[in-house]
Amino acid sequence: MTSTISLPRGFRFAAVKAAIKPSGNADFACAVADSVASAAAMFTSNRVVAAPVIVGRRQLVSSGGLVRVVAVNAGNANCATGEQGIEACQQVTAAAAVQFGCEQTQVFPSSTGIIGVPLPAAKLVAALPAVQVALGDTAEHFMQFARAIMTTDTKPKTAFASIEVDGTQVRIAGVAKGAGMIHPQLVPHATMLVYLFTDAKITPTDLAKLLPASVESSFNRISIDGDTSTNDTVLLLASGASGAAVGADHAEFRSALDQVCLSLARQIIDDGEGVTHVVELQIHGAASDADALRVARAIAHSPLVKTAWAGCDPNWGRLIAAIGYSGAEIDPARIDIWLGAQQICSAGGRAQDFNQQAAHEVMLQREFTIRIELGVGSGRCNFWTTDLTAEYVRINAEYST
């Protein structure tokens, strides 16, 4: 795969070992822009926020939406660490600014890992010279960045797209980490760790206009277990190195960005802890798009629905119960449900031609769709979620603070 990736120009990547992850694997990843890049970001809506989220928000405001360095450490979330956590974060950004020759406000920090343990900032500071030596712009460098930010992920997550703007190739590359504790709430901020790089020439203002819609239709439409992390972040950087100018209303660019975000969101959901089924919910005919989303979320968070999926049980009763308590305006007598191509519920009751064996076989596949027609409006929503398995419980019940 690496031989076919063309990265957006204007960025270099590196990952080194800062000895924070107990495994001893590379755990400090940096992206450095050749010259300062435009930036926009969205953060978790959890009111308990990690120090890097507090600092990152401030940095973007202070710098006017400009970023030169992205510094991500894995193994320690620097969350619930009080004032000391803020200071540790600032220690790292200050040192990175010196190392790479930029303003401190142009260094964007992220952390992921254990909560409540002080961040060993000195280890990160000490690793900066090694980062500088390791920087490169090849696909392999990008993949090393992708691996170093992983925690519970079983594989690195990347996505790429490119378009032509006035005869010039413009590229987008995205990298994400996240599996479990995934339920992004991006109104107005939220998500897991996602870094999107493009060599389009876009102002910070336009990036800030572009980002929310792409995030809404991707990262805001996935859920593994309903929990929202304290560290969720999506950062979008534009180096301008392609020379091609793109505005917020550039349809093809929006579409490519959507595609990269959706690919990463699907990879995150596919890598959920203990996941054996990935389910796409297609909600149609709701009173509004907001209601369609309510229905999707109620289903995605219902332990009874998700355990039925784990057991490959085409149980539509639990589905309509979840629809019923979603808070969406519904007419129970108008609900139709399809499992793959099999209709299992019709007018709020068991479908006349309900074929239990055929419906069960749809569920033997790792991925399947559930389409729900509510018949009360034109609101709709696509949403992706997973089953709930004994393995998920086992992983999360392991006793290790």
| Burial (CB count within 10 angstroms: exposed 0-12, middle 13-18, buried 19+), residue 287 | middle
Asked whether residue 112 is marked as a ligand-binding residue, the answer is: no
Q: Which of 126, 321, 358, 376 binds a copy of itself (CB under 8 A)?
A: 321
The number of beta carbons lying within 10 Å of the beta carbon of residue 158 is 20
47 binds a copy of itself (CB under 8 A): yes
Q: Which of 60, 131, 170, 181 binds a copy of itself (CB under 8 A)?
A: 181
161 binds a copy of itself (CB under 8 A): no
Task: Report the C-alpha gap between 253 and 168 in whole angstroms.
Answer: 13
344 Cβ contact list (under 8 Å, min separation 6): 314, 316, 337, 338, 350, 351, 354, 359
Asked whether residue 205 is marked as a ligand-binding residue, the answer is: no
| Burial (CB count within 10 angstroms: exposed 0-12, middle 13-18, buried 19+), residue 126 | middle
Catalytic residue among 81, 112, 191, 385: 191
Asked whether residue 228 is marked as a ligand-binding residue, the answer is: no
Closest CA to 147 of 28, 230, 262, 233: 28
303 binds a copy of itself (CB under 8 A): yes
Asked whether residue 81 is marked as a ligand-binding residue, the answer is: no
Beta carbon of residue 263, minimum distance to a copy of itself (angstroms, whole number) = 26
Asked whether residue 76 is marked as a ligand-binding residue, the answer is: no
The residue count for binding a copy of itself (CB under 8 A) is 67
The helix/strand/coil state of 167 is coil
Beta carbon of residue 185, minimum distance to a copy of itself (angstroms, whole number) = 7
Give the distance from CA 84 to its chain's centroid.
28
Beta carbon of residue 391, minimum distance to a copy of itself (angstroms, whole number) = 8
Q: Which of 214, 228, 233, 343 binds a copy of itself (CB under 8 A)?
A: 228
Q: Identify whether 138 is a catalytic site residue.
A: no
Part of the chain binding a copy of itself (CB under 8 A), chosen from 97-105, 142-150, 162-170, 311-319: 311-319
The HSE-up count of residue 116 (CA atoms within 13 Å, CB side) is 1
C-alpha pair distances (Å), 177 with each of 113, 119, 131, 156, 159 = 11, 19, 20, 7, 12
Nearer to a copy of itself, 65 or 178 (CB): 178
Task: Report the C-alpha gap between 352 and 113 in whole angstroms.
Answer: 50
Chain contacts with a copy of itself (rule: CB under 8 A): 45-49, 79-82, 114-117, 180-181, 185, 225-230, 301-304, 307-308, 310-318, 320-325, 328-330, 332-333, 345, 347-350, 356, 360, 388-390, 392-394, 396-401
Q: Which residues are catalytic?
A: 191
